[in-house]
Amino acid sequence: MTIRNLNNSPTGLTRRSALAVTGGALTAGALSRATSAQGAVTLRWWSPQSVPAQLAAYKLQIETFEAANPGIKVVFEPTSDETYAAQLAAAFASGQVPNIVTHLPSFAVGNYWRSGLLEPFNDVIQMVGPEKFYPGANRIYEVEPGVFAGAGIGGTAANSLWLRTDLMKKAGIAEAPKTWDELRTAARKMQGGGIYGAPLPYARNSMTTLIFICFIHLAGGQVFTPDLQVAIDSPETLNALEFYKSMRELCPPGATSYSWGESLTAFVSGATATGIYTGRVLANVNAQNPSIKDSITCTTYPSISASVPSWTFNDFPSMFIPKAAKDMGATKKFAAHIYAPEGYIKQLHAAPGHVLPVLKTIADDPKYQDNPIIAKYANEVKIMAAASAGGFNLGFESAKHKPNAKAGEVVNSAVIAEMVQRVCLNNEDPKKIVGETAQRIEKIVKG
């Protein structure tokens, strides 16, 4: 990873600039002492990941940072996957921005960077040590050669296929499905007695959009071409819609309003035989429904046929710093502190297998491996880690694609979720709807 030093100053120092620097330093020092004396340096940290175990990990990270940096206070403020865009838009517009934002999908970072709203993340990566990251872990954030808009805080395999091995056995299914036909047949066989086949989302929300984008890719299609022309109007999208619609009868009635939480709960509670989620399933099953903890496994999500490879949705949970954030020095220091082994491992252990490490030094750390869930489901974690490493999202659909700065707005507009609802719930003509959706996306792209 080549990182450009953004702090290079010109060599020749004039008397005027020396005076200015000295004056500035004195003023900054005085101000710093004043604010320290008042305890006024408060850093605000936003994240949509805030289940109790994660909050406990954040608390540890905050406490250790505050202990090492007297006079600086860190406040954690939760946001959510469905509302962060609105909250951040309002924050940027009002100038009341948080200091650090973590766990948002990578495409959000690209979008904000292109609007000139973010501070380069190079200093933080330098503080952490670029050699500690997995090779290419931050390629998605390299917005200009050597300039990083943010960095990964983890990896996910958000569309992993979760299976109940006990139900598979009961239904006479020997192997995990690899194609859509096999998946549908398996789900049909396992459905019954109050258990549904799958918890696929059919709501007007970001989960439906993001999951259906996976299905377009699993059909061999794409939403944008590598040079970012709208390509959703394709036979592959129609095939994906046809399959998705056929799965409706195998999903709970309320899947029409499912988001991530409901879909996860449906599988964890035992209401569905298959699931579609990240590794958070592991911790939740063990904590909330241990009766099935020995009967769950996961694999990559099936595709339309054996000739189409699986496509993993990795939202590349990110970390970035808004340009308008106050106390930039302390902010960057805290950002680097988040990667410190003790706190980072605790954060990863809060939902083992859900957010996977981006630092190879952490993945190899015996303390990270020393977790009962990671040890018990070593194979599943390995599958998800491999899938996550080769994962993509709408901001970066394949290795050939350019980063898509409009991905966030396409997701937030819900046009893809509306397309799914109109075809799968309202039985409207798929060809017409897909054409209209392509036009709507083009309109968003043109802004």
Partner 1 sequence: MTAVEALPRPAEQGLKLSTRYGLLGALLIAPTVLIFCAVIVYPLVSAIYLSLFSIYTPTLKGRWVGLGNYADLLASGEFWNALGVNLIWTAGTLVLQLVAGVALALLLHQNIVFRSLARSLILFPYFMSTVVAVLVWRWLFNDLYGILNHAMMWTGLLSMPLDWLGRMPNAMISVILVGAWKYFPFVVISVLARLQTIPDHLYEAATMDGAGRWARFTDITLPQLREVLFIVILLRAIWDFKEFDLIYLMTGGGPVTSTMTLPLLVYKQAFALNEMGGASAVAVLMMIVMLGFMVLYFRTGRTAEN
Minimum distance of partner 1 from residue 275's CB (angstroms):
14
Tell me whether residue 274 or residue 412 sits nearer to partner 1 (CB atom): 412
Part in contact with partner 1 (CB under 8 A); list of ranges 27-35, 361-369, 375-383, 412-420:
412-420
Contacts with partner 1 in 65-104 (CB under 8 A)?
Answer: 82, 85-86, 88-90, 92-93
Tell me whether residue 2 or residue 426 sits nearer to partner 1 (CB atom): 426
Residue 89 CA to residue 91 CA, distance in Å, equals: 5
Tell me whether residue 46 or residue 202 sits nearer to partner 1 (CB atom): 202
Dihedral sign (CA 169, 291, 188, 416): negative
Is the distance from CB of 100 to CB of 43 less than 8 angstroms? yes
Tell me whether residue 95 or residue 366 sits nearer to partner 1 (CB atom): 95
User: Is 425 near partner 1 (CB under 8 A)?
Assistant: yes
Part in contact with partner 1 (CB under 8 A); list of ranges 70-78, 265-273, 279-287, 307-315:
265-273
Minimum distance of partner 1 from residue 370's CB (angstroms):
36
Minimum distance of partner 1 from residue 256's CB (angstroms):
2
Choose, by CB under 8 A, the member of 252, 279, 403, 430 that binds partner 1: 252
Nearest of 253, 142, 229 to residue 441 by alpha carbon: 229
- Tell the residue number behind the tokens 């202990």, with chain if given: 67
Collapsing DSSP to helix, strand or coil, 296 comes out as strand
Minimum distance of partner 1 from residue 250's CB (angstroms):
13
Minimum distance of partner 1 from residue 262's CB (angstroms):
8
Q: Where are the alpha helices (DSSP H) in 294-401?
A: 328-337, 341-350, 360-363, 366-369, 372-376, 378-389
User: Is 117 near partner 1 (CB under 8 A)?
Assistant: yes
Minimum distance of partner 1 from residue 140's CB (angstroms):
20
- Tell the residue number behind the tokens 């000739």, with chain if given: 307
Choose, by CB under 8 A, the member of 213, 374, 418, 437 that binds partner 1: 418
User: Is 288 near partner 1 (CB under 8 A)?
Assistant: no
Tell me whether residue 115 or residue 379 sits nearer to partner 1 (CB atom): 115
Is the distance from CB of 401 to CB of 228 less than 8 angstroms? yes
Number of residues that bind partner 1 (CB under 8 A): 37
Name the token pair of 320: 């970035």
User: Is 211 near partner 1 (CB under 8 A)?
Assistant: no
User: Is 413 near partner 1 (CB under 8 A)?
Assistant: yes
User: Is 203 near partner 1 (CB under 8 A)?
Assistant: yes
138-146: long-range pairs with CB below 8 Å, 24+: 138/1, 138/358, 140/106, 140/110, 140/316, 140/395, 140/396, 140/403, 141/106, 141/109, 141/110, 141/318, 143/110, 143/113, 143/114, 143/403, 145/2, 145/4, 146/2, 146/3, 146/4, 146/122
User: Is 256 near partner 1 (CB under 8 A)?
Assistant: yes
Cβ-in-10-Å burial (0-12, 13-18, 19+) of 55 comes to middle
Count of alpha carbons within 13 angstroms of residue 407, beta-carbon side: 29
Task: Describe the crossing of helices 328-337 and 52-68 by its angle, rounded to 10 degrees.
Answer: 120
User: Is 348 near partner 1 (CB under 8 A)?
Assistant: no
Tell me the Ramachandran region of residue 366: left when phi exceeds 0, alpha when psi lies from -120 to 50, beta otherwise: alpha
Choose, by CB under 8 A, the member of 12, 116, 145, 290 that binds partner 1: 116
Minimum distance of partner 1 from residue 357's CB (angstroms):
31
Minimum distance of partner 1 from residue 36's CB (angstroms):
32
Is the distance from CB of 391 to CB of 312 less than 8 angstroms? yes
Is the distance from CB of 144 to CB of 116 less than 8 angstroms? no
User: Is 281 near partner 1 (CB under 8 A)?
Assistant: no
Residue 270 CA to residue 253 CA, distance in Å, equals: 15
> Per-residue x/- marks for partner 1, 160-199, CB under 8 A?
----------------------------------------
Choose, by CB under 8 A, the member of 10, 12, 253, 290 that binds partner 1: 253
Distances (CA, A) of 439 to 87, 128, 369, 401, 434: 28, 44, 48, 21, 9
E strand or H helix that includes residue 47:
strand 41-47
Task: Describe the crossing of helices 235-246 and 206-218 by its angle, rounded to 10 degrees.
Answer: 120
Choose, by CB under 8 A, the member of 412, 430, 437, 438 that binds partner 1: 412
Choose, by CB under 8 A, the member of 40, 127, 147, 271 that binds partner 1: 271
E strand or H helix that includes residue 76:
strand 72-78
Tell me whether residue 25 or residue 90 sits nearer to partner 1 (CB atom): 90
Tell me whether residue 272 or residue 286 sits nearer to partner 1 (CB atom): 272
Contacts with partner 1 in 10-69 (CB under 8 A)?
Answer: none
Give the binding site for partner 1 (CB under 8 A): 82, 85-86, 88-90, 92-93, 112, 115-117, 202-205, 252-257, 266, 269, 271, 409, 412-414, 417-418, 421-422, 425-426, 444, 447
